[in-house]
Structure 1
């Protein structure tokens, strides 16, 4: 078995939004078992969640909600801008 570590790079906004979603699914709603039926998958989910919790100071800040919403808005804008560029025909074609 190969236990070589894998690194995943996320922007701070991506990490923050993912951390919040994981928290909601894992601890607030008890949905993890319904979403992820194979408990073997829980191990990497908990590892990712723990790593994000250690890396993100934002999760302990008093303005958590507004920061989270701002991060979500930036990610949506980036995602939709990028998809618009991919979907739009090139100018001058």
Structure 2
């Protein structure tokens, strides 16, 4: 088995699982056209959901929006 480790900032760890959840709720097959890719996406999403305590904070929506703003490229 090949191992893969990646570190995310707290902002990235807030934004990415939210986006993955939205992706999952849409027509997943339209975006991810190879079903073999679904397994690693679900695995990553499952790990992210358990990561930052901010995901369960009462002001999660505000934190998520602030993280999105900080991660937007300037330009």
- Superposition TM-score, scaled by structure 1 size: 0.73
Larger Rg: 1
Instruction: Give CA deviations for 1:16-62 in whole Å, capped at 9, x if unaligned.
Output: 10110001111xx3332210011100111011101101112122122
Whether 2:61 is the aligned partner of 1:65: answer: yes
Deviating above 6 A after TM superposition, structure 1's stretches of 4 or more consecutive aligned residues are: none
Residue of structure 1 in register with 2:20 after alignment = 22
1:62 partner SS? coil
Q: What do you get for the CA RMSD once the two structures are aligned?
A: 1.3
* Count of residues in correspondence between the two structures: 75
Of structures 1 and 2, the one with the larger relative CO (CA 8 A, separation 6+) is: 2
Q: Secondary structure at the match of 1:42?
A: helix
TM-score w.r.t. the length of structure 2 is 0.88
Secondary structure at the residue paired with 1:20? helix
> Can you give the 5+ residue segments of structure 2 that lack an aligned partner in the other structure?
none
